[in-house]
Amino acid sequence: MPKKSYIAVNVIIAVLCFVLQYNRFNLFKFMNASPMFPLGFLIILSMFLSELSSFVWGVLFGIIVDSFSTTALGFNSIIFPLFAFLVSFIVHYLFNNNIMSSAVLTVSCCLVYFTVRFLIFFPSVSAKDTLSYIIRAAIPSAIITAVFSVLLYLFEKKIFKNQMAPR
């Protein structure tokens, strides 16, 4: 059972991720690419939590992202818990919990997220435009998010070890 201070620290980090994502100034935008801070943090958090806890955090993150997002209501509330559950499952049964896994999982989830979102909400776009979107926006966004998530991974690993160690 996670300690209350561990949960409180993660709530503070989550709030900071949402503030960075949805501020007016868009500080981290690079050309057409902007990182998906809440998704990156959710992936890192899911690496340290159980599948059920990850799913619950994913539902909460999805609802919050849906409330700020311009996409159809419910899209993020469906895809975020799925990503959280899958990442937690993959880390517990297939991958090791390390920095490389965090980068690979973050890039993979971001690419799937951006591609699925584009295909669902822009179904009549040509294959050329879809490929252009993936190359110009989705891949750079996934890479920027992965860089951010690697930094968060190091921090999360440290606080997870400190809070979960028996005293």
Residue 53 belongs to domain with CATH number: 1.10.1760
Number of domains in the chain: 1
User: Would you state the pLDDT for residue 25?
Assistant: 67
User: Would you state the pLDDT for residue 167?
Assistant: 45
User: Would you state the pLDDT for residue 125?
Assistant: 75
Given a cut of 70, whether residue 122 has pLDDT beyond it is yes
Given a cut of 70, whether residue 51 has pLDDT beyond it is yes
| Mean pLDDT for the chain overall | 84
User: Would you state the pLDDT for residue 27?
Assistant: 67
The pTM is what? 0.86
Residue 136 belongs to what domain range?
Answer: 4-27+34-164
User: Would you state the pLDDT for residue 56?
Assistant: 93
Residues 6+ apart with CB under 8 A from 21: 35, 36, 37, 38, 68
